[in-house]
Structure 1
Amino acid sequence: MKSLGEVPANISSCEVLQVIGENIILADKDYNVVWLNPAAVNLLSGLVDDYGLENVEQFVGLNMSFFHSRPAYQQAIMERLENSHRSRIIIKDKIVTDIVINPIKNEQNAILGYVVLLLDVTTKAQEEERKEKLINELSVPLLHIWDNAIAVPLAGPMNVERFDYILASLLDKCKANEALYAAIDLSGVTEWHEEIANQIDRMINGLSLMGTSCIIVGIKPELAKRLGSYAYEVPIFSTMKAAIKFIISR
């Protein structure tokens, strides 16, 4: 697809690339780095020691294979690159980014060089946190089972952080839906933390303050032992079916 309009004579292509906030690297047709925009200079300055270099200026002139753990694989990708290549990479176990490589071609369709973009840059720790958050979000199914009633079927191990996340999501959902009942199904949980009894109490009280009645479902014998002498003044059922029948009857 062709571009539209004209770049003013007083604005050079280099000046345009300089002010773009993304990390831009130019390489020649032999895959050697020839130019970095300021954003890329700033990013790579933090990786000088990791690559065993003395300063960021030494990145210029390096072949792109220098940055790849499998140079032959990278070479094969570049040799057959006709349009655009994009992948998610980890740089020196510190930086996680999307790398986008586009060939620069002349009017005869001959490759003159390459534009490399490093997008959505985060530290590895931030990426792991993002993944953990996504997993938590996907692992908290909040189901609208009846008028003004929500079910939360929990599964897998349950630690303090996950329980807190579930509680926050549940309170938001109950508020948004003006739920009168929240049925918490614990039958699928495989591992409990030491504070579970207190956490369940917090959940019951939090829901109560919002006008939502909590219903506990599926307490296994091992969980019953952990709960000990806690006397929860809420309906408790062995199955979700029984809990739904209770809600419908109210």
Structure 2
Amino acid sequence: MSSLPHLFDLTGRRAVVTGCRRGIGLAMAEALAEAGADIIGVSAQMEADGSEVERRVTGHGRSFAAHRVDFADRQAVSHFAARVEADHGPIDILINNAGTIARHPAAEFPDEDWDRLIEVNLSSQFVLSRELGKRMVERGQGKIVFTASLLSFQGGVLVPAYTATKSAIAGLTKALANEWASSGVCVNAITPGYIATDNTQALRDDQTRSAAILDRIPAGRWGRPDDLAGATVFLASRASDYVHGAVLPVDGGWLGR
């Protein structure tokens, strides 16, 4: 039987991490690098060099390659997906974390925001998963991890498009797992709770709303991006080889309340 440290060792693995320039994606990329993986970082505003994520990854002795991709542009996503293995070699791990949010009352929600969120949060993630996943299937191994949301399970307020996309991500996770598990490809998702990032800044700035959120979290605090590190390494490593189609909450106990 393998030792536990060996099961979590990602040395020699190559990971694509989308939306890794800040917040949760940055923490995920650093965690994978600390476990031994080389990182291909992708973000809509990624710096060619000198980024914080590059500094952190290389600080753990791993290589980092930066790619700027607009996830609202289907052609740009498809081009990246078609080229990434030719440029960097086989991809062992795909972290589908890129995402965006827009807040409006449902009765006033603009079509352009709806379309943008569907493209960024769902369609681009399917395209990347399809293109990199089919190569993983051919090789007989691979790990795909989506970033879902508490709103994969709940309705939320003023975020109908975000809720729709994150609910779809939970379903897509299970659908791909059903097809690819027998080929050695693990597809799972992490469900972050209320994490202190740019996406939740408006909620944290609203004293009434923030207090109500904190009152419901059994852990008694907002999450930090690095709270996702352990789950990310677990789902990217050999330790999760028999885990398929899971949507794993990392939420301070919110969903159990």
Q: Give the structure-1-normalised TM-score.
A: 0.26
Q: Give the structure-2-normalised TM-score.
A: 0.26
Determine which structure has more spread, i.e. the larger CA radius of gyration. 1
**Bigger relative contact order, structure 1 or 2, given CA contacts below 8 A and separation 6+?**
2
Which structure has greater helix proportion?
A: 2
